Amino acid sequence: MKILFASSNKNKIREINSLLAGRHTVLGLEEAGITVEIPETGSTLHENSFLKAKFVLEHFGEKSFADAVFADDSGLEVEALNGAPGVFSARYAGIPKNDVSNNIKLLEELKWTTNRKARFVTVITLIINGEVHYFEGEIKGTIAQEPRGKNGFGYDPLFIPRGYRSTFAELSAETKNAISHRAIAVNKMVKFLEKF
Ligand code: ITT
């Protein structure tokens, strides 16, 4: 199946492409010739995920030549920060969004506490045949004392998945894709798409 992925985040597109390889063809927004910044005005990951998929379908449905559209809204929720940065993960340190500044701000905010517990969450919205379906994925872990590793993107240098000593950025792309929040959500979507 040919599926349009309503994302302009190259790292997410790369991860999703390898998760769906051999099963579905994924087209990112740029590949589909769509260069707009989609407004993420929701207050939850579910809302923003839905907004992105709906926006692309409404504005570019015909252009995409795809059988379905999906979007991924993800966030890092830190227990000691009452779930922040959460839905604001991309713009945590302000606009324009910047991964390094976000990581610096997160470490600053955590200076006063020893509680480093966190979780990564992904909410996928799939719109197929006019119907909306949600798939969620979560991975628990802790926040490292300083950034470590060169792989991945975003908060990967700070996130240590439960059961590991390395951050996501120190693990290989294959290992991250075997256990991540995104992989869990994508695998649920893959299972669902078997019906079509
Ligand atoms: P699109 O909306 O175009 O898909 P985005 O970067 O704006 O891309 P989000 O709104 O989902 O994506 O923002 C989530 C932010 O959280 C993202 O910019 C990263 O900084 C971070 N993030 C998401 N998934 C991540 C992952 O697997 N590893 C590390 N950081 C991640």
Residue range 24-53, pLDDT digits in tens: 999 999 998 889 989 999 999 999 999 999
pLDDT at 62 over 70: no
Per-residue confidence (pLDDT) for residue 60, from 0 to 100: 85
In the annotation, is 73 catalytic? yes
- Contact by Cβ (8 Å): 142, 119: no
- Contact by Cβ (8 Å): 13, 179: no
Global pTM? 0.97
Candidate from 12-26, 60-74, 171-185 with smallest mean pLDDT: 60-74
Assign 23 a pLDDT band (cuts: 50, 70, 90): very high
Q: How far apart are the C-alpha atoms of 158 and 119, rounded to whole Å?
A: 12
Q: Which of 67, 72, 73, 99 is catalytic?
A: 73
Per-residue confidence (pLDDT) for residue 64, from 0 to 100: 65
Assign 168 a pLDDT band (cuts: 50, 70, 90): very high
* Ligand 1 binding pocket includes 24 (Cβ within 6 Å): no
Q: What percent of the chain has pLDDT over 90?
A: 91
- Residue 48 φ then ψ, to 5°: -65, -35
Name the 3-class secondary structure at 73: strand
* Ligand 1 binding pocket includes 176 (Cβ within 6 Å): no
pLDDT at 141 over 90: yes
Query: Ligand 1 center to residue 74 CA distance, Å?
Result: 6
- Closest to 189 in 3D by CA, of 108, 125, 121: 125
Partners of 122 in the beta sheet?
74, 137
Pocket probe for ligand 1: among 12, 44, 97, the residue whose CB has the most ligand atoms within 8 Å is 12
Residue 114's identity, in one-letter code, is T
Q: What percent of the chain has pLDDT over 70?
A: 98
pLDDT at 63 over 80: no
Q: Any idea which residue has 């929720």 for tokens? A: 77
Task: Give buried/exposed letters for 110-127 (b at 16+ CB in 10 A, else e).
Answer: beeeeebebbbbbbbbbb
Class assignment of domain 2-193?
alpha beta
Query: What are the C-alpha distances in Å from 100 to residues 111, 128, 141, 175?
Result: 17, 36, 20, 23
